[in-house]
């Protein structure tokens, strides 16, 4: 049994945490915006998977990862618009609609994968270009910090920027105020002339864009190809992180990193002789435990207020 | 005519299916060299041979069980997708018992199925308990549990049940005493079909003719109202989760004992997730679920046969499924025609 | 060009469930007048206003605003054109400050992108001063009293330069004293050139404030009159087609009131450091109706929801006869003889999507007469449902119809029928007639009195002063979570005097208040 501290307190572990947190944090940011507008975007997972697929395929077709990225984002917007159409216009329950879209994405990507590559497993044969890694000048030469923060995929830095941007959006702009207003009380928002459906659509599209960035990272950063169901629940982990952040973007970010750390831990432990079947469950056990603990706290708060 | 609610629902269903098929055909036009043949195979091939039609029923059995398990949860407004993990894990429970020697070939499958069902029920109680007691989001916990159960199951198979004579994930062969008998010669339709019919009837009566069913339905429609009326959500959620897990467990067991010779799922089988589709399509009604399972099995069997002889993969069926489900579960699809018909009638009298 | 700022012609509104809310209504509003629209609950006043404001859209008919026909797609367009509305239920976000609530949707910016939070505070402060409203705009709205919230609502419309201000039942939540202040404000607005559309069913108020009055009945207009040309009696007749009985005394039979059926002792509740309920004690005897009066938000909701078991108190005990209910489950409380007509019937009182019959049995669905050994007795349920539907003259196609296809008044009758059918010892009725038509209202009042005559104890909570005063035998007043007054009889009590207690301006001595429990 390796010494746990030895694993965790290496700068390389910090690097891995950042490497694995990307899809989770993008998903969490997206879910955070959607839930601020009062919608649980359950389709996060499917949107990510679709983007992971579209990104790498378009990158292969155009032999340009940036075009791949753009197409992936477009697919994210499209998925969100489909969800928007069904939940806002046709009044489908958003959870049911989300579940349907996830199942659809899961098999439809396999369908397209087969059409494009003739394989139902991965797109590795296509040799798609991935997004570049970036060494940060100066920072890369600082001992520990350089190891942790430099040399990541460009999407890692886009992720950090996204946290800041989402903060400004939600806390410092009229759009953010309106999104929150719609989420807290639709009727109140409507009474001052806010177009609720428009705000919700914007929120869902933004969450789709963020989800697609997380997805495209899976196939063009984390790995260099698409494989069946490769998001593997990360969208839902992001959803859990957003729920536990309780409408506070910093809490959402911290929770995502916490989950990322467990993911990284599983990665690190898998290198040792432990049964890998058990190790791979660590991140899921962590999320399960965290959301249970969180709900117990909430329950105690409700009890203290006499509500239960 | 559209003012009549039932007729309107039927028209809506028909329109959704039609729309889905048109979309599928358009996709076929784009991806296939022989779209017409592919399309007609997909739609009609299950009717061409008795054995093919048997395939439809065979597939319908596990889909129905998964659908019933999920529908019961959805009815209670519990968005739990844990049937997938339960299907997988109870398959391992089944393998553990079905590979043991047992003298009685009537009791062996019954015991296997029952234990598997109880295991499923107990597993479902975990997210169920946290939901009931602390309002823990069951969608997230159940999805996490799917992944956990998968890892755990794989571990058990690998270290305790792995067959020595085959490579890859597989248990030893099930004992012949454990297998379910085939009830319609010329097909592989097994006695699990009869169990399914019994379950549907029981569930129907439970849901619409017992106090438990009444409290499930009221809680699902309006939880505040149920609480106000004095119903105990805690025990209800536990009960519903147990029954749902039980249905998932026996569904998994029946599928394995009826259709397989050994446990060999190396990934999550996907049946549990499909159960969510069945529940939505069947409007969370036991009979509706079975009809939905039949329709989807029919399409999947058709697609499967098509995939074998054309250049189109079986996953094309996902387009039909998603489109139908999305439109069926939307309240406002075609609604304006319904409303126009109502307005033409002049509106009901104001009370 | 005439001096009408707004004209409605031939407006008909049919909802998607087939309910007709307005039929062929034509009214015109003059610039700079206070124009009241009166009618009983359910007469279609609110729907008509929502159509002016763009929230609802007429099925037939046209709206002409400032000489041009308009089709407001949503409230945004109405607001842009200078129409503002203060809704009956406040439309504010409790977690936002007063300033944020006011500027929401039209926020002042800095650098063209970002919110200018300082400027929002400055502008809203100025606005409040200009219209003689005195308030701290940096407070969170959730912490304001009802009358202050209403002021914020009015400021919201003024911030958007509303020329026409629609006020939907603004006085329903106010005490008589607060109403006077509001009327002074409204007159001030009129002087400044605003047009006021005042929606109410309280005729004396309408008479006091209006220039012109439009009477609505059953979705239709019964004509527009100059204030001086119509008396309250005439309005009443137009509104309901008959006179309303103002007292139910004649229907009350003498009861011996020997048994203390329901007793509440020393309830306290502290929420996040705020004392919501303080030393609340009272008793209700079998065969009497105890009314609880008070401005909404003074602890009544918390008191009732705790008593029936939907939430908890910090301390306190309560009993039916001598049986303590305090720590029993809701089911056990109901079993002990508690019945409850909830304030929010759509949220707590019914299950939408279920049939009328299913909604009629929920609080006693385990009872023997509707159950067999294993299965529920569907025949028994239907017989019971049909009997209740007939007894309460619930207007429904059949007992199998979906509950949501019924009108508000009939849904409430279903709730009342169900709760009275549990043969309770204590019936708690919370706002039992809010927002329903006059026919159903009267019917329900009679039903409560019938129960009282059969020796049931009734606790009636209502923000509607008329209701508590008409129906109750005894009365208590709640203010800031405390009982501040107890009246052995409502005879001779004026609403002015009650208002003083409701506002906390007056308070009885401890001895009199204690009589709420011991009398």
Q: Mean of the per-residue pLDDT values for chain C?
A: 90
Contact call for A190 and C74, based on CB within 8 A: yes
Task: Find the mean pLDDT for residues C192-208.
Answer: 89
Q: Is the pLDDT of residue C376 over 90?
A: yes
Of the ranges A41-55, B49-63, B320-334, C152-166, which one carries the lowest mean pLDDT score? B320-334
Q: Is the pLDDT of residue C469 over 60?
A: yes
Contact C482, C297 (CB under 8 A): no
Highest mean predicted confidence (pLDDT) among C244-248, C326-330, C406-410: C326-330
Task: Find the mean pLDDT for residues B271-298.
Answer: 93
Tokens of C387: 């009997």
Task: Find the mean pLDDT for residues B16-29.
Answer: 92
With an 8 Å Cβ cutoff, is B313 touching chain A?
yes
Q: Is the pLDDT of residue B222 over 90?
A: yes
- The minimum CA-CA distance between A271 and chain C, rounded to whole Å, is 49
With contact defined as 3+ CB pairs under 8 Å, the chains touching A are B, C
Domains of chain B (ranges plus CATH)? Answer: 33-311 (1.10.3470)
Q: Could you read off the pLDDT of B51-108 as tens digits, one per residue?
A: 999 999 999 999 999 999 999 999 999 999 999 999 999 999 999 999 999 888 889 9
Q: Is the pLDDT of residue A84 over 90?
A: yes
**CA atoms in the 13 A half-sphere facing the CB of B185:** 0
pLDDT value of residue C171: 87
| Residue C359 pLDDT class (50, 70, 90 cuts) | very high
Contact call for A99 and B315, based on CB within 8 A: no
| Residue B349 pLDDT class (50, 70, 90 cuts) | very low
Contact B153, B92 (CB under 8 A): yes
Contact C161, C144 (CB under 8 A): no
Q: Is the pLDDT of residue A71 over 70?
A: yes
- The minimum CA-CA distance between B146 and chain A, rounded to whole Å, is 9
Q: Which long-range contacts (CB under 8 A, 24 or more apart) does A122-126 make?
A: A122/A225, A122/A226, A122/A227, A122/A228, A123/A53, A123/A56, A123/A57, A123/A60, A123/A219, A123/A225, A123/A226, A123/A227, A124/A224, A124/A225, A124/A227, A126/A56, A126/A57, A126/A60, A126/A225
With an 8 Å Cβ cutoff, is A301 touching chain C?
no
Q: Is the pLDDT of residue C243 over 50?
A: no
A-C Cβ pairs (cutoff 8 Å, strict): 86
Distance CA C127, CA C132 (A): 9
Distance CA A287, CA A260 (A): 10
Smallest CA-to-CA distance from B254 within B98, B142, B53, B75 is with B98
Q: Is the pLDDT of residue C422 over 70?
A: yes
| Residue C68 pLDDT class (50, 70, 90 cuts) | very high
Highest mean predicted confidence (pLDDT) among A115-129, B198-212, C223-237, C283-297: B198-212
Tokens of B202: 């029981």
Of B229, B342, B351, the CB nearest to C395: B351
Q: In chain A, which residues have their Cβ closer than 8 Å to the Cβ of B147?
A: 232-233, 280-281, 284
Contact call for B218 and C218, based on CB within 8 A: no
Contact call for A306 and C79, based on CB within 8 A: no
| Residue B218 pLDDT class (50, 70, 90 cuts) | very high
pLDDT value of residue C436: 80
Task: Find the mean pLDDT for residues C250-272.
Answer: 90
pLDDT value of residue A273: 63
Contact A42, A181 (CB under 8 A): no
Tokens of A4: 């746990």
Q: Is the pLDDT of residue C215 over 60?
A: yes
Contact call for A177 and C104, based on CB within 8 A: yes
pLDDT value of residue C145: 85
Distance CA A296, CA A302 (A): 10
pLDDT value of residue A217: 97
Q: Looking at residue C43, what DSSP letter applies?
A: S
DSSP E strands in C344-456: the ranges are 426-430
Of the ranges B270-274, B291-295, C479-483, which one carries the lowest mean pLDDT score? B270-274
Q: Could you read off the pLDDT of A4-51 as tens digits, one per residue?
A: 777 788 888 999 999 999 999 999 999 999 999 999 999 999 999 999
pLDDT value of residue B344: 65
pLDDT value of residue C65: 94
Q: Could you read off the pLDDT of A154-183 as tens digits, one per residue?
A: 999 999 999 999 999 999 999 999 999 999
Of C21, C331, C353, the CB nearest to B230: C331
* CA distances for C374 relative to B72, B94, B211, C290, C360, angstroms: 20, 32, 8, 41, 21
- Total Cβ atoms within 10 A of residue C106: 17
Nearest CA in chain A to C277: A306
Q: In chain A, which residues have their Cβ closer than 8 Å to the Cβ of C269?
A: 306
Task: Find the mean pLDDT for residues B276-303.
Answer: 94
Question: pTM higher than 0.80, yes or no?
Answer: yes
Q: Is the pLDDT of residue C273 over 80?
A: no
Residue in the block written with tokens 């091939």:
B45
Q: In chain C, which residues have their Cβ closer than 8 Å to the Cβ of A305?
A: 271-272
Q: In chain B, which residues have their Cβ closer than 8 Å to the Cβ of A110?
A: 313, 315
Strand order in the sheet with C20-30: C20-30, C4-14, C60-65, C68-70
Contact C252, C258 (CB under 8 A): no
pLDDT value of residue A151: 87
The dihedrals phi and psi of B149, each to the nearest 5 degrees, come to: -65, -35
Smallest CA-to-CA distance from B14 within B278, B295, B306, B298 is with B295
DSSP code per residue over C214-280: EEEETTEEEEEEEGGG--HHHHHHHHHSSPPP---GGGPPP----SEEEEEEEEEEEETTEEEEEEE
pLDDT value of residue C506: 87
Nearest CA in chain B to C219: B350
Q: Which CATH class is domain A4-304?
A: mainly alpha
| Percentage, residues of chain C above pLDDT 90 | 64
| Percentage, residues of chain C above pLDDT 70 | 97
Contact C487, C475 (CB under 8 A): yes
Interface test with C, best of B207, B228, B343, B346 (most C CBs within 10 A): B228
Contact call for B210 and C376, based on CB within 8 A: yes
**Domain-wise residue ranges, chain C:** 4-240, 259-337+426-442+456-519, 347-423
pLDDT value of residue C494: 84
Q: Looking at residue A219, what DSSP letter applies?
A: I
| Residue B347 pLDDT class (50, 70, 90 cuts) | very low
Q: Could you read off the pLDDT of C71-98 as tens digits, one per residue?
A: 998 888 899 999 999 988 888 999 999 9
Give A62-105 as a 3 state SS string. Answer: HCCHHHHHHHHHHHHHHHHHHHHHHHHHCCECHHHHHHHHHHHH
Task: Find the mean pLDDT for residues C450-468.
Answer: 91
Q: Is the pLDDT of residue C3 over 90?
A: no
Q: In chain B, which residues have their Cβ closer than 8 Å to the Cβ of A295?
A: 130, 134-137
Q: Is the pLDDT of residue B1 over 70?
A: no
* CA distances for C419 relative to C339, C388, C413, C447, angstroms: 6, 11, 10, 11
Q: In chain B, which residues have their Cβ closer than 8 Å to the Cβ of A92?
A: 326, 329-331
| Residue C429 pLDDT class (50, 70, 90 cuts) | very high
| Percentage, residues of chain A above pLDDT 90 | 73
Q: Is the pLDDT of residue C241 over 70?
A: no
Q: Is the pLDDT of residue B10 over 90?
A: no
Q: Mean of the per-residue pLDDT values for chain A?
A: 92
With an 8 Å Cβ cutoff, is A168 touching chain C?
yes
Task: Find the mean pLDDT for residues C397-401.
Answer: 91
pLDDT value of residue C1: 42
Tokens of A40: 């649980």
Domain C4-240 has CATH 3.40.50.300: yes
Pick the CATH number of C259-337+426-442+456-519 from 3.40.50.970, 3.30.750.80, 3.40.50.300, 3.65.10.10: 3.40.50.300
With contact defined as 3+ CB pairs under 8 Å, the chains touching C are A, B
Q: Could you read off the pLDDT of B301-314 as tens digits, one per residue?
A: 999 999 999 989 99
**Domain-wise residue ranges, chain A:** 4-304
Higher-pLDDT residue of C240 and B230 is: B230
Q: Is the pLDDT of residue A282 over 90?
A: yes
- Total Cβ atoms within 10 A of residue B137: 23
């Amino acid at each position: 049994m390796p010494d746990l501290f030895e694993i965790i307190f290496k700068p390389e572990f910090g690097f891995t945490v950042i490497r694995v947190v990307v899809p989770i944090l993008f998903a969490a940011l997206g879910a955070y915006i959607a839930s601020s507008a009062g919608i649980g975007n359950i389709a996060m997972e499917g949107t990510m998977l679709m983007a992971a697929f579209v990104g790498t395929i378009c990158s292969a077709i155009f032999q340009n990862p940036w075009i791949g990225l753009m197409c992936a984002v477009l697919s994210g917007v499209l998925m969100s618009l489909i969800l928007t159409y069904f939940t806002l216009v046709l009044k489908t329950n958003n959870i049911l609609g989300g579940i349907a879209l996830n199942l659809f994405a899961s098999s439809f990507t396999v369908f397209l994968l087969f059409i494009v590559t003739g394989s139902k497993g991965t797109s590795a044969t296509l040799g798609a270009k991935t997004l570049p890694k970036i060494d940060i000048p100066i920072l890369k030469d600082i001992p520990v910090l350089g190891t942790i923060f430099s040399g990541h995929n460009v999407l890692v830095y886009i992720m950090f920027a996204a946290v800041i941007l989402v903060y400004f959006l939600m806390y410092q702009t009229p759009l953010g105020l309106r999104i929150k207003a719609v989420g807290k009380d639709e009727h109140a928002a409507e009474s001052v002339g806010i177009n609720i459906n428009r705000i919700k659509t914007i929120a869902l599209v933004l969450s789709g864009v963020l989800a697609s960035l997380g997805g495209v990272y899976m196939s063009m950063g984390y790995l260099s190809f698409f494989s069946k169901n490769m998001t593997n629940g990360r969208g839902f982990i992001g959803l859990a992180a957003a729920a536990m952040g309780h409408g506070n973007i910093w809490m959402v970010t911290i929770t995502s990193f916490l989950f990322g750390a467990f993911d990284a831990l599983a990665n690190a432990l898998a290198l040792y002789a432990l049964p890998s079947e058990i190790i791979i469950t660590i991140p899921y056990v962590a999320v399960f435990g965290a959301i249970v603990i969180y709900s117990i706290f909430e329950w105690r708060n409700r009890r203290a207020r006499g509500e239960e | 005519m559209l003012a009549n609610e039932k007729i309107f629902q039927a028209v809506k269903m028909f329109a959704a299916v039609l729309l889905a098929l048109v979309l599928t055909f358009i996709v076929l036009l784009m991806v296939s060299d022989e779209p017409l043949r592919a399309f007609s195979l997909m739609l009609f091939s299950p009717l061409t041979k008795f054995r093919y039609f048997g395939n439809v029923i065979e597939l319908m059995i596990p889909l129905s069980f998964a659908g019933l398990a999920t529908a019961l949860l959805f009815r209670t407004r519990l968005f739990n997708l844990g049937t997938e993990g339960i299907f997988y894990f109870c398959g391992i429970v089944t393998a553990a018992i079905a590979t043991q020697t047992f003298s009685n070939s009537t009791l062996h499958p019954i015991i296997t199925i029952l234990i598997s069902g109880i295991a499923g029920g107990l597993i479902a109680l975990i997210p169920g308990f946290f939901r009931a007691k602390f309002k823990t989001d069951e969608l997230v916990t159940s999805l996490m549990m799917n992944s956990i159960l998968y890892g755990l199951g794989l571990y058990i198979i690998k270290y305790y049940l792995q067959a020595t004579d085959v490579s890859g994930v597989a248990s030893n062969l099930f004992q012949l005493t454990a297998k379910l008998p085939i009830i319609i010669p010329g097909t592989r339709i097994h006695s699990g079909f009869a169990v399914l019919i019994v379950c549907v009837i029981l569930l129907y009566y439970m849901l619409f003719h017992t106090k438990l069913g009444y409290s499930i339905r009221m809680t699902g429609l309006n939880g505040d109202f149920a609480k106000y009326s004095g119903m105990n959500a805690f025990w209800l959620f536990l009960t519903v989760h147990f029954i749902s897990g039980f249905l998932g467990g026996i569904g998994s067991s029946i599928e394995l004992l009826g259709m397989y010779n050994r446990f060999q799922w190396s990934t999550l089988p996907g049946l549990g997730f499909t159960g969510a589709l069945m529940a939505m399509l069947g409007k969370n009604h036991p009979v509706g679920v079975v009809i939905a399972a039949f329709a989807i099995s029919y399409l999947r069997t058709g697609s499967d046969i098509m995939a074998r002889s054309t250049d189109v993969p079986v996953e094309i069926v996902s387009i039909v499924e998603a489109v139908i489900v999305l439109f069926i579960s939307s309240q406002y699809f075609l609604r304006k025609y319904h409303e126009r018909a109502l307005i033409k009638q002049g509106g009901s009298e104001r009370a | 060009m005439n001096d009408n700022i707004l004209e409605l012609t031939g407006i008909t509104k049919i909802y998607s469930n087939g309910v007709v809310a307005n039929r062929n209504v034509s009214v015109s509003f003059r610039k700079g007048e206070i124009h009241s629209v009166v009618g009983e609950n359910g007469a279609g006043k609110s729907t008509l206003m929502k159509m002016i404001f763009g929230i609802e859209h007429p099925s037939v008919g046209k709206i002409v605003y400032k000489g041009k026909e308009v089709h407001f797609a949503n409230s945004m367009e109405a607001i842009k054109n200078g129409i503002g509305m203060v809704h009956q239920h406040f439309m504010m976000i409790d977690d936002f400050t007063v300033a944020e609530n006011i500027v929401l949707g039209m926020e002042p910016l800095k650098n063209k992108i970002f919110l200018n939070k300082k400027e929002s505070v400055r502008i809203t402060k100025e606005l409040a001063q200009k219209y003689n409203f005195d308030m701290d705009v940096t407070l969170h709205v959730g912490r304001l009293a009802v009358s202050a919230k209403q002021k914020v609502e009015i400021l919201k419309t003024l911030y958007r330069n509303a020329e026409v201000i629609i006020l939907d039942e603004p006085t329903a939540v106010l005490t008589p004293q607060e109403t006077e202040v509001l009327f002074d404000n409204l007159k001030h607005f009129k002087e400044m050139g605003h047009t006021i559309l005042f929606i109410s069913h309280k005729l004396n108020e309408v008479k006091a404030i209006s220039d012109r009055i439009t009477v609505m009945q059953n979705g239709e207009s019964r004509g527009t009159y100059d204030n001086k040309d119509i008396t309250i009696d005439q309005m009443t007749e137009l509104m309901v087609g008959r006179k309303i009985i103002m007292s139910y005394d004649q229907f009350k039979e003498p009861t011996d009131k020997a048994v203390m059926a329901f007793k509440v002792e020393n309830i306290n509740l502290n929420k996040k450091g705020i004392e919501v309920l303080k030393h609340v004690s009272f008793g209700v005897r079998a065969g009497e109706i105890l009314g609880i009066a008070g401005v909404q938000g003074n602890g009544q909701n918390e008191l009732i929801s705790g008593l029936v078991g939907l939430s908890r108190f910090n301390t306190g005990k309560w009993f039916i006869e001598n049986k303590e209910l305090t720590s029993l489950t809701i089911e056990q409380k109901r079993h002990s003889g508690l019945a409850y007509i909830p304030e929010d019937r759509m949220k707590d009182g019914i299950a939408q999507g279920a049939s009328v019959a299913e909604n009629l049995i929920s609080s006693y669905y385990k009872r023997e007469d509707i159950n067999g050994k294993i299965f529920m007795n569907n025949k028994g349920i239907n017989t019971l449902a049909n009997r209740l539907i007939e007894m309460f003259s619930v207007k429904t196609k059949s007992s199998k119809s979906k509950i949501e296809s019924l009108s508000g008044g009939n849904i409430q009758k279903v709730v009342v029928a169900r709760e009275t059918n549990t043969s309770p010892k204590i019936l708690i009725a919370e706002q039992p007639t809010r927002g329903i038509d006059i026919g159903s209202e009267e019917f329900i009042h009679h039903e409560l009195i019938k129960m009282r005559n059969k020796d049931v104890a009734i606790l009636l909570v209502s923000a509607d002063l008329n209701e508590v005063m008409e129906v109750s035998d005894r009365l208590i007043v709640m203010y800031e979570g405390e009982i501040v007054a107890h009246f052995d009889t409502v005879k001779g009590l004026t609403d002015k005097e009650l208002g003083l207690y409701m506002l906390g301006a007056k308070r009885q001595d401890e001895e009199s208040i204690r009589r709420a429990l011991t009398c």
